[in-house]
Amino acid sequence: MPDDPEGGMLSWDESVFRDEHVFEIDYVPETFKHREGQMRNLTYALRPAVRGSRPLNVMVRGPPGTGKTTAIQKLFDEVGAQTSDVRTIRVNCQVNATRYSVFSRLFEGTFDYEPPSSGISFKKLFGQIAEKLVDDDRVLVVALDDVNYLFYENEASDTLYSLLRAHEEYPGAKIGVVVVSSDPALDVIDELDSRVQSVFRPEDVYFPVYDSPEIGDILDERVTRGFHDGVIARDTLEHVADLTADSGDLRVGIDLLRRAGLNAEMRASRTVERQDVDEAYEQSKYVNLSRSLSGLTDTELTLLEVIANHDGEQAGEVYDVFRDHTELGYTRYSEIVNKLDQLSLIDAEYTEVDGRGRSRSLSLSYEKEAVLDRLE
């Protein structure tokens, strides 16, 4: 375990990191490896927009941590570099999970300032966006990232309907939609209203889980850009790649490298060792859990805490405790249970209960301590 030859902690102007931002989740790499086919398909769909026409709509699917958001950001950057006649706006639906909040973000992206916080109807908000596009003769490409959250809140059909039908109410409005789903169990088309299905015929672009060699290649480039030379040995990096492959989420590996680097610095070491990786993995393996929790409301977090403390109990028994905390009715409670189940935060399985027929038992999908620690 090599120590700092100068003795003591690394000073503030010394670090194992060449560029720590390389290991941030929102970092967009200069080279985007192993997604060439997906990028070609996305470019094909958006090419008409660069020529002033309405682009093809696209459905981007794939598990978390497979490069979907990065692909959208890279493509939007390229479009912006080619022309100012196309406005590209990515909306994070984990944060903006209603039609009104989605269009508030579109308003902000169109006018470069936020809409009034109150007193403006959806119709007026939408009208101002569409009229601005027509007046400026601009094409709008909207990426609804993590669109699955709109489905969880029953807002997806209304949101897409408004976007896809805009040209009927506002002739000359040219809007293309890219929906990005990270829920493998969600069939986007089947879950939409028939009125939306009739007009939403998207190109399908699938992002599979990275295989082990691809993970190793991507992480190796992050190490080259993010760490100083010689900080992490090849066998240690291979260990990181193996842990990442087991998780199926590239973000785990990227977060793991950053935390392992910080652990090495805490030891005043100039190299990342296997023990730094193993200690970091106890936090990094919950990247997806932390991300899911960050998008929940206080009420949803309250229910998750109740379930954690009543793990495996029947839905009716859990509701009694939840109602004492929130005074919400059973219908809203059931909606939140369904959302937590769809997010794979809990398992809501139907079981036979003596004398009561079928009832759902609610249990956590993660270790209780991991959930409670992140709820504090």
Q: Which residues are annotated as a binding site?
A: 66-70, 210, 222
User: Which three-class secondary structure state does DSSP give residue 352?
Assistant: strand
Say which residues have a Cβ less than 8 Å from residue 161's Cβ, sequence separation at least 6: 193, 195, 196
CB 144 within 8 A of CB 180: yes
Say which residues have a Cβ less than 8 Å from residue 86's Cβ, sequence separation at least 6: 49, 50, 79, 80, 138, 139, 140, 141
What's the rounded Cα separation, in Å, for the pair 251 and 19? 17
Q: What residues are designated binding site for ATP?
A: 66-70, 210, 222
Q: DSSP state, 128?
A: H
- Say if residue 323 is exposed, middle or buried (CB neighbours under 10 Å; 0-12, 13-18, 19+): middle
What's the rounded Cα separation, in Å, for the pair 90 and 157? 18
| Helix H or strand E segment including 240 | helix 234-247
Report residue 243 as tokens. Answer: 């842990």
Report residue 5 as tokens. Answer: 């030859």
Buried-state track 92-119, b at ≥16 Cβ within 10 A, e below 16:
bbbebbbbbbbbbbbbebbeeeebeeee
Q: DSSP state, 62?
A: -
The closest of 269, 236, 238, 219 to 16, measured between CA atoms, is 269
